[in-house]
Structure 1
Amino acid sequence: MEKLTKKKSHFPFRLNLLFFSVFLLFSVLILRLGFVQIVYGENYKRDLERKEDITVSNLVPRGKMLDRDFRVVVDNVPKSAIIYTNEGFSQKEMLETAKKLALLIDKKTDKVTERDKRDFWFIKNQKWADAKITKTEKDLYNAKKLTDKEIYKLKLDRITEEELKEITDTDLEVLAIYREFTSGYKFTPQMVKNEDVTEKEFAVVSENLQSLPGVETTTDWDRSYAFENTLRSVLGKVTKSDEGLPADQLDYFLAKGYSRNDRVGKSQLEFQYEDVLHGYKSKVKNITDNAGNVIEIHSVYTGKKGKDLILTIDMELQMAIDKILEEELWAAKTSPGTGLTDRAYVVLMDPWTGEVLTMSGKKIVNDKDTGNDEMIDDALGTFTTTYNVGSAVKGATILTGYKSGAISPGTSFDDTGIKIKDTPLKKSYAYLGRINDIDALKKSSNVYMFHTAINIGKGHYEYDKPLNFTNKLSFETIRNSFASFGLGTRTGIDLPNEQTGFKGQSKLPGYLLDLVIGQYDTYSTMQLAQYVSTIANGGYRMQPHVVKQIREPASESDEFGPVIQEITPTVLNTIDVKKEWMSRVQTGFKKVMQEPGGTAYNFFQGVTYSPAGKTGTAEAFYDGPFRSNYGKEPPPVMNLSLVCYAPSTNPEVAMAVLVPWAYEGSVDNRANLKIGKRVLDTYFQMKNNFARRSNR
């Protein structure tokens, strides 16, 4: 009985000890919680309440392009689109969303790569992928001798073809969508689908947005062309959404606030005026908590459509000139010796302002699929390709002769051919007798220009004797003078990739004679237009331009937005010649086209618009697309050109025509004159028709 009493007396003590221990533990916990609350409470509270502001930019349409009469040339066509914005979702969450979206839309899988498939297999089979790493490799990894990247690559490389075949067509569609989800940065909208989105797809996705986190339906835009392929090469292109920013200009655009998948102008006008056309994206601010969840959305900026360009081009006239070029080029191909003839160019310009009214180029190419020849737009060739142009440059030669003192107004030479020792006889197309400066232009005397060049070079000519120049800078003298008219230099046109032309490298005296008749250096059609404009307006080299105005985008109530920039005429330089000298060249040009014996008279006699200009024929070496067919010695070909302005007094339009490789042999098809006559006839006819309509 005593033993039982003793044992029982220990139980309350142990129980009290247990309670005391629990009390001590709770006291320590309470003290610790109190310490954390007092010392670190504010920090933890700030962490819980911390928010992050993320700005997301959304699409806006690009600015339009309109011609000088406000006809829409390039516009935007809205199209349905499905986009995805990664708002901090995990890989698993994005893959789950991709699976759901794949059930609602059809997604092409042609852009899925082998690497995409391996990554996708890895995500779906991580356990099996991990098993592909050997124990030795794991040990090396633990020893930090293999990186995460190297281990991942080993896993991918060891995925077999049989394992890749486990990916079904349904999986591929999920992968194609997932690929778009992960192609950009966090909070940067990615285009999932914007081509051929059906009304049903757009509707069903819109209805299920709550179960598709990050997915949105929106409106995207495509460029549309009211005049189809007319001038397309000059209007330029815009990158597609799957192209994004051009790789070679990535840093430039990123520094300006673009996203990697933004579409930008990548050529010609779209590229040149990208800063104007691209617009300002709408912006919304996503406010996230510390876990990355979006808890608030605020509109920051509603966005603004890109500004509109008003072009100097008259699209109605452009289409008419294009048609003339096509018809005359096909017609020329029916003449003998035109196997290499494949292109022609025309530029019309306002000689007082430099406004380019039309820039037309056509090229015949062979369709590899059908084997048939077809005509394509090559308006770019008016300033990106250069050729020997022949006698069209003789106006610049005469004025250079005046400036250098080599000739004076009224100077005459006998048109007898010039023979330099060990070289072929250099002569005009026929013996023209004794001839002065004006008639040398009218009848296109080569010999007159040769004597002018010899005098510029301070040379002494004797028949069949060597020819040497004491003026060692004679090539520079002539080229610098030609450049002041726009020949052999950049015209300054507001388009990229303008070519200046090829300058002959040899400075043997005979080549100086070729230079002054347009058979040594090469020039573009745009340069010819600037050159003849300079003569037409009395000596002002005007900068050509194809944009006339920049306007704010029109509001819903306005037909056109207000002008924010007017492209004013720019004089690049003036020709340092006497008014009398310029007048003599203008007279010679007028005689070319309006007086019997002029090289263009037979085509332009009787017209009412009083043209003045200069024809050109140049024997040139062929360097076109079929050059390889002829080995080292392709045949010589004849280039045809024509520069002109009208009316001869107070001219309103300047024209340059260039037909490279117009013919081989001796049968001149006169394509330059046929084209030029029809172009000027059309210009003045359309002008008169417009005037009659305006007076009604």
Structure 2
Amino acid sequence: MKTNSTKKRNHVPIRVNALFLTVFFLFSILVLRLGFLQIVKGEEYKRNAYLTENVTTKLDAPRGKMYDSHYRVVVDNEPVFSITYTRTRDADSEKRLAIAKKLAQLIDKDTSELTDRDRKDYYILLHQKEVEKRISSAEEKNTPPEKLYDLMLAKVTQEDISSFSKQQLEVLAIKSEMDRGYTLSPQRIKIGATEKEMALISEHLPDLPGVDIKPDAARSYPFGDSFRDMFGQVKQIPKLKMDFYTSRGNDRNDMVGTSFLEEQYEALLRGTKSKIKYITDKKGNPVGDPKEEKGARGSDLVLTVDMDLQKEVERVVEEKLKDAIKGKYAYDNKELNKAYIVMMNPKTGAILSMAGKEYDRKTGKFSSIPFGNIYHSYEMGSTVKGATVLTGLQQGVIDPNSVIVDAPLVFGDGGKLKSHNNMGPVNAVQALEQSSNVFMWNIAMRLSGYDYPHKRFKEHKVNEAFQILRNSYSEFGLGVPTGIDLPSEATGYNTGVSDALSQAMYFAIGQFDTYTPMQMAQYVSTIANGGLRMQPHLLEEVREPSEDPNKLGKLLYHFEPKVLNKIEMKESYLDVVHKGFYEVMHGSKGTAAWVFKNKDYNPAGKTGTAEVDKATGLVNKTLIGYAPYDNPEVAFAVVVPKIREGYTNLEIAEGAMDAYFNKKKEGISTDSTTKKNENQVEPR
């Protein structure tokens, strides 16, 4: 037993030693291998590790929708397919040009936005040696390298860039889009590809590296062209604004609002982008499948505009303008081609409708130009007389009971100035009712220190009179920004200050400075509401995007009416103008009473005629007003430039106001809980 036990004990150390030797041998091999990898191959693997990279690209999310004041969709997102190009690091300019040439044979590409600079760059790309030969003088040949390309651009002529064929321009337009994007960032070449184009692209994908067809969204307009210009456009970032947007975190290939509401509220409408994460090899090509983080649609906007009213007002403007151009006054109105109207809530500044129409005599068609209400300015004539009377009252040169004899004014040089009729003695209310020029001229003369009966200056203050009138007008919104929520607006033309008394007198009757229809709407609203200049606005609410197409998302923001300034004057002074405006539309001698005196909505307002060309008789015909007189809920301004005969200004205002109050009677224009139609959703 002892011998067997001893033998077993001797076997154990042998096995353990063998195991240790095996482990030691394997460990040694591992150490040697690690040493080889680290010492011999370490630098190589380190270099290779740096040649892989994590790259994140972004894709635009759908933009927020827009709704009218009754929560009907007016701007939506329509699913489309876009042709995209994703550039890799090894895709140089020549490779991109080759792909662009192939694409140009398969798709139609719009070339209207190509600039002369784009064409010159392309010409140099195609004819570089030829352009270099044009650098001939010794001075030119010594041009520093950093300025050489600018010199080459200068050598490309207008004739050169006009020589491109339609096919070449399409190649240029495609390549320009391909060049805009970052590496591995899909760049839209064409939004809204046709079925035929998609089929052709699919057939040739192996020959079009980087080209793909992706689902996308484009703006759609359920109400057609109505108010469409004011919604604005969505395009890729314009080259001229590239620095502006990239400095604010945008990518070069972003789709952004480029005009009007789309531009004004870009930060709200723009969604959260989807992110696509790639791992690339040393050549910059993706390795494996990308990972995507989904984005979110932008916020929704609820606007102040009632689209039913808007469409009807547009119809009225077009109909009345056509009557003036084609009807019995056709011979006289050969210069007439456009008209504008703004309707707003005088208590809140909410824009209810904003329309403009322009007639093309060559095609016989109308185009919508609602933006003319904020960008085009005109002499407005007698519609400004309300501000003139209030200035005279405030400055103490007249009082509510002042009476001035409306008779021709005769000056020392024999010159005469008179109203359209000799009205005899009139007070301020009557002067507004009958549109007395003489009454307003007396205000201007008194402000200027001119004693008319004696035809001499007691004190020469014409410059001061100009400044007093212009400052007073500005408090109503005339000649200054209205503050409307759009990217820009015109403020009219300030004709400056003159030493001539006659110029101050013409200023007082609206025939000196120019104003926009929007400024006129703000001006009459200020009078209508008792002296508060309200900021005009198109945005009413901002809502979270909703997953339910029949429900609006959570309310994020509601516009609170903003008072820009308050007219500091006696209420009795404003009452004088209110009564004068009422008599314009109801008095026995009111200049618009024959149209409005029987209207049950009880309007008030002021007509205007500004002489444009004395020789031809061209005038601007205008009209401002509000209703109801005792509790105004809608104010308006109408401008019809370059007309000779007819009452188109009155007819447009009548049709628009009738439309507003008829819809109110029907429970449409003021009740946001109206019967749903296919485009309408409900707030939650």
Q: Under a length normalisation based on structure 2, what TM-score does the superposition of the two structures give?
A: 0.79
Counterpart of 1:635 in structure 2 is 616
| Percent identity for Structure 1 against Structure 2 | 37
Q: How does 1:617-632 map to 2 (within 5 A)?
A: 617-621=609-613
8 A Cα contact 2:87 2:210, kept in partner = yes
TM superposition shift of 1:560: 1.6
45-54 vs 513-522, which moves further? 45-54
Change (3 A) 1:423 1:520: farther
Counterpart of 2:421 in structure 1 is 430
User: What are the Cα deviations for residues 642-672 of structure 1, in whole angstroms up to 9, with x where unaligned?
Assistant: 1111001111100111111221xxxx41222
Task: Give the letter for the 2:643 counterpart.
Answer: A
8 A Cα contact 1:116 1:179, kept in partner = no
Q: 1:217 aligns with which of 213, 217, 227?
A: 213
Distance in 2, matches of 1:419 and 1:174, equals 71
Counterpart of 1:263 in structure 2 is 255
Task: Give the letter for the 1:341 counterpart.
Answer: L
Task: Give the letter for the 1:354 counterpart.
Answer: G
Change (3 A) 1:595 1:196: same
| In the alignment, structure 1 residue 189 sits paired with structure 2 residue 190 | no
| In the alignment, structure 1 residue 249 sits paired with structure 2 residue 266 | no
Q: How does 1:168-207 map to 2 (within 5 A)?
A: 184-198=181-195, 202=198
Distance in 1, matches of 2:633 and 2:516, equals 22
SS, match of residue 309 in structure 1: strand
Aligned residues: 610
83-92 vs 268-277, which moves further? 83-92
Distance in 2, matches of 1:56 and 1:354, equals 43
8 A Cα contact 1:120 1:175, kept in partner = no
Task: Give the letter for the 2:626 counterpart.
Answer: Y
Counterpart of 1:311 in structure 2 is 303
Counterpart of 2:518 in structure 1 is 526
Distance in 1, matches of 2:222 and 2:110, equals 32
245-254 vs 422-431, which moves further? 422-431
User: What are the Cα deviations for residues 257-295 of structure 1, in whole angstroms up to 9, with x where unaligned?
Assistant: 333333322222222222222323211111223443322
382-391 vs 504-513, which moves further? 504-513
Change (3 A) 1:612 1:273: same
Q: Under a length normalisation based on structure 1, what TM-score does the superposition of the two structures give?
A: 0.78
Task: Give the letter for the 1:526 counterpart.
Answer: M
SS, match of residue 295 in structure 1: coil
| In the alignment, structure 1 residue 88 sits paired with structure 2 residue 83 | no
SS, match of residue 451 in structure 1: helix
Counterpart of 1:457 in structure 2 is 448
| In the alignment, structure 1 residue 348 sits paired with structure 2 residue 343 | yes
Counterpart of 1:233 in structure 2 is 229
Counterpart of 1:360 in structure 2 is 355
Change (3 A) 1:518 1:296: same
Distance in 2, matches of 1:39 and 1:298, equals 34
User: What are the Cα deviations for residues 511-541 of structure 1, in whole angstroms up to 9, with x where unaligned?
Assistant: 1111111111111111111011011100000
Task: Give the letter for the 2:194 counterpart.
Answer: V
Counterpart of 1:678 in structure 2 is 655
Unaligned runs of 5+ in 2: 1-31, 133-142, 156-165, 676-684
Q: 2:478 aligns with which of 478, 487, 496?
A: 487
TM superposition shift of 1:394: 1.2
8 A Cα contact 1:284 1:297, kept in partner = no
8 A Cα contact 1:415 1:435, kept in partner = yes
8 A Cα contact 2:180 2:252, kept in partner = no
Task: Give the letter for the 2:430 counterpart.
Answer: D
SS, match of residue 410 in structure 2: coil
Counterpart of 1:625 in structure 2 is none
8 A Cα contact 2:451 2:457, kept in partner = no
Task: Give the letter for the 1:656 counterpart.
Answer: A
Counterpart of 1:409 in structure 2 is 400
Task: Give the letter for the 1:425 counterpart.
Answer: K
Counterpart of 2:409 in structure 1 is 418
Counterpart of 2:7 in structure 1 is none
Counterpart of 2:264 in structure 1 is 272
Distance in 1, matches of 2:107 and 2:542, equals 41
8 A Cα contact 1:619 1:637, kept in partner = yes
Distance in 2, matches of 1:104 and 1:465, equals 80
8 A Cα contact 2:340 2:372, kept in partner = yes
Counterpart of 1:62 in structure 2 is 63
SS, match of residue 62 in structure 1: coil
TM superposition shift of 1:61: 2.2
Counterpart of 1:655 in structure 2 is 636
Unaligned runs of 5+ in 1: 1-31, 123-128, 134-144, 158-168, 623-633
Distance in 1, matches of 2:168 and 2:612, equals 61
Distance in 2, matches of 1:331 and 1:613, equals 24
SS, match of residue 271 in structure 1: helix
8 A Cα contact 1:418 1:463, kept in partner = no
Distance in 1, matches of 2:589 and 2:97, equals 84
Q: 2:533 aligns with which of 529, 538, 541?
A: 541
8 A Cα contact 2:275 2:292, kept in partner = yes
SS, match of residue 294 in structure 1: coil
